Amino acid sequence: MARVLAVLSSGYEEKDYHTGWWAEELFAPLQKLEDAGHTVDLASPFGGKPEVDVRSISEDFDPDGTYKQLYESGRADQTMKLEEVDAENYDVILVVGGHGAMFDLAKNVDLHALMNKVYDNGGILAAECHGPSVFAFLKGSDDELLIKGLDVTGYPDEIEPEEVLPFLPYSLEQELREVANYIPEMDKKAYAVWANDQIVTSRDPFSSELMGDELVKKLNK
């Protein structure tokens, strides 16, 4: 069975703007992976309890309270610091989405180092929703962007909430389009795409279960 490292934003705060990781994007694939017998550990830049985006456990986005209950169970209360993680222990790195990823994960040198080592060891790199922001800046051992010219997806501009736009440091879609073949596939309820045998990205929270399915299928092979 595989060992998976799920990486969460520690959170970001600016005046009246608070964001972090998105609950469904952790718990939906986590459940799929654990049900298949894989082990999932958690990490974040600061370690400890990372800040969840509270909208992701609100009635608007979690009407049945499924992810709120999982969050309140304490499953994500303890994370390792990224700088203390040994990449040799992991077969998969999953970058969980939420706007927070754009702020403290996208250019995080510790995360980049971990992802490069796992990738060079033949492991899988996965990112959901705003998590693919990491790939917009991640260079491989040849000093080229790892996703250069490859198929990727991520949260599209057309559905970014207007109220958060003034706070975002960049457009995820535009950053990905500059270096890769960005595919939104908005006609599909859920969408994930493999760039190659080791890199997979998914589009939005609705694609969280699909990400879990894609990882389980790949690991089963």
Question: Average pLDDT for residues 47-52, to the nearest whole number?
Answer: 98
pTM of the model: 0.97
Distances (CA, A) of 23 to 126, 145, 149, 193: 16, 29, 30, 21
Q: In whole angstroms, give the CA distance from residue 83 to residue 105.
A: 12
Q: What is the mean pLDDT of the chain?
A: 97
Helix (H) / strand (E) element for 126: namely strand 124-128
- Mean pLDDT score, 109-119: 98
DSSP state letter for 139: B
| Bridge-based pairing state of the strands 17-19 and 12-14 | antiparallel
Render pLDDT for 175-217 as a digit per residue (tens, 0 to 9): 999 999 999 999 999 999 999 999 999 999 999 999 999 999 9
Burial class (CB in 10 A: 0-12, 13-18, 19+), 145: middle
Question: For residue 39, what pLDDT is reported?
Answer: 98
| Domains along the sequence of the chain with CATH | 3-220 (3.40.50.880)
pLDDT at 15 over 90: no
Q: What is the pLDDT of residue 221?
A: 84
The structure tokens listed for 126 are: 């996965």
